[in-house]
Amino acid sequence: MPCDVPRPILSRPAPTPRDRRDLERARRAGAAARQQGRPALDIALAQVGAAFDQAAIVNALKLRVERSFRLGPQHPAVRARFSARAQLMFGRSLDQAIALTERAWREERKAFQLAAAFGRGSRLSLDVLSELRIALRLMRAKQMQAQFPAILAALCEGPIAMAAE
């Protein structure tokens, strides 16, 4: 009689790196469709649907924010993307910057919806604000309030003062 050791209830598999989650989710969706005996076209559609669903969009946003953190505030691409917004936050606390960014994001979202209704919407400004919202929330979660003024100063200094908005 084999001895099966039960897994503890609270154990979880090791977290997968964020950049592989979309691929794994698409593979699981394809495997589930295959187990149901669905045709090959339905399996492919399930995989494509899982690869480009709302979870994939959120994951891509988080990947962009993580990339910005890895590059750091001195990197020219990060400075070009966020320096204009950082100048608006200069002299404020992290919590004040989060509130300011939330307000700006809501206003920009409304403006984009209105402009998109007339066929003239540009998502760039909204994307920058979305990335900034996530980055600021992450900084608050990591308790980086003390480093926040130095990060703003690094984003605002130097010749790159135009944003990619």
**With bands split at pLDDT 50, 70 and 90, how would you rate the model's confidence at 82?**
very high
Helix (H) or strand (E) holding 17: none
pLDDT per residue over 128-158, tens digit each? 999 999 999 999 999 999 999 999 998 888 6
Answer whether 89's CB lies under 8 Å from 97's CB.
Answer: yes
**With bands split at pLDDT 50, 70 and 90, how would you rate the model's confidence at 121?**
confident
Domain boundaries, the chain: 72-156
* Residues sharing a CB contact under 8 Å with residue 136, sequence separation 6 or more, in sequence order: 94, 97, 98, 101
Answer whether 92's CB lies under 8 Å from 98's CB.
Answer: no
Alpha carbons 27 and 47: distance in angstroms, whole number: 6
> What pLDDT score does 12 carry?
55
Alpha carbons 104 and 153: distance in angstroms, whole number: 21
Answer whether 129's CB lies under 8 Å from 104's CB.
Answer: yes
> What pLDDT score does 85 carry?
92
Asked whether residue 65 carries a pLDDT value surpassing 70, the answer given is yes
pTM for the predicted model, two decimal places: 0.74
Strand, coil or helix: 55: helix
> What pLDDT score does 157 carry?
80
- Cβ-count burial of 164 within 10 angstroms (0-12 exposed, 13-18 middle, 19+ buried)? middle
Could you tell me the end-to-end alpha-carbon distance of the chain, in angstroms, rounded to an integer? 67
**With bands split at pLDDT 50, 70 and 90, how would you rate the model's confidence at 5?**
very low
> What pLDDT score does 16 carry?
67
Count helices and strands in the chain by DSSP H and E runs: 7, 0
Asked whether residue 126 carries a pLDDT value surpassing 60, the answer given is yes
Alpha carbons 56 and 23: distance in angstroms, whole number: 9
> What pLDDT score does 6 carry?
46
Alpha carbons 129 and 112: distance in angstroms, whole number: 12
pLDDT per residue over 85-109, tens digit each? 999 998 899 999 999 999 999 999 9
